[in-house]
A and B are shown apart, each in its own frame.
Chain A
């Protein structure tokens, strides 16, 4: 699956997107546990889970939403547009 990062999460991780093989991840929360192991930057990005929002295939979701074969998972801080 393609994992995307935005705003300060992207800065901490150092890339805006990466291809991740995570068949075992049932929910977004499971995927985060896998991503955390990838680098210190990943661990830092997911340090404060209250600031982590997720979109699954471009739809807002929750950390406990099932990934269910999703192709694009995006992680980002709370939005600040408008």
Chain B
């Protein structure tokens, strides 16, 4: 398997996920992996106003965009596995919303690839959040800081 890019596993789902089970599945039957980095995003109940978050996405394009991001990560770092799960639908504060797992021989590649995937996902994958607050529902604004985080990888390739 050495030298061949891993087939990333990507899921868009309403159901919750189990990080430990996903991590075990990613490494099952492989002994050449030395590091699995994981990032889990949670629904943040910002200043106690967010009652729920509704996630909309662009079916078809979402999977393509995430596959492209995973492929880009594989071309930049030596990875043995990539797992991305993004939930859609209505989620409550504290719930898990996104999971990125990256497996590699060494930790640097796993850490950096997971960071890269999240930064790109934030700016390139077609998801939109609608926040339910006591004053009513509103679409969440994109943040410039996310653009800056993603842009860092353009000027500072691994």
Query: Do residues A81 and B58 form an inter-chain contact, with CB atoms below 8 A?
Result: no
Q: Which of B64, B127, B141 contacts A81 (CB 8 A)?
A: B127
Band of interface residues on B: 20 to 34
Residues of A within 8 A of B58 (CB): 4, 6, 55, 58, 74, 76
Would A60 and B65 be within 8 Å (CB), given that A8-B139, A76-B58, A81-B57 are in contact? yes
Query: Do residues A58 and B141 form an inter-chain contact, with CB atoms below 8 A?
Result: no
Interface size on A (CB < 8 Å)?
A: 16
Residues of B within 8 A of A7 (CB): 56, 128, 130, 139
Query: Do residues A6 and B128 form an inter-chain contact, with CB atoms below 8 A?
Result: yes
Could you tell me which residues of chain B, from 21 to 48, have a CB within 8 Å of some CB in chain A?
41
Chain A residue nearest in CB terms to B125: A81
Query: Do residues B127 and A74 form an inter-chain contact, with CB atoms below 8 A?
Result: no
Binding site for B on A (CB under 8 A): 4, 6-8, 55, 58-60, 74, 76-82
Q: A6-B58, A80-B141, A81-B125 known; 7 other A-B pairs, CB under 8 Å?
A: A58-B58, A58-B64, A58-B65, A76-B128, A81-B98, A82-B98, A82-B118
Which 7 pairs across A and B sit closest by C-beta, in order of nearness? A81-B127, A78-B142, A58-B61, A7-B128, A82-B122, A80-B129, A80-B140
Binding site for A on B (CB under 8 A): 41, 55-58, 60-61, 64-65, 86, 97-98, 118, 121-130, 139-142, 146
14 A-B contacts, Cβ less than 8 Å apart?
A7-B128, A7-B139, A58-B58, A58-B60, A60-B65, A76-B126, A79-B125, A79-B128, A81-B121, A81-B128, A82-B41, A82-B98, A82-B121, A82-B125
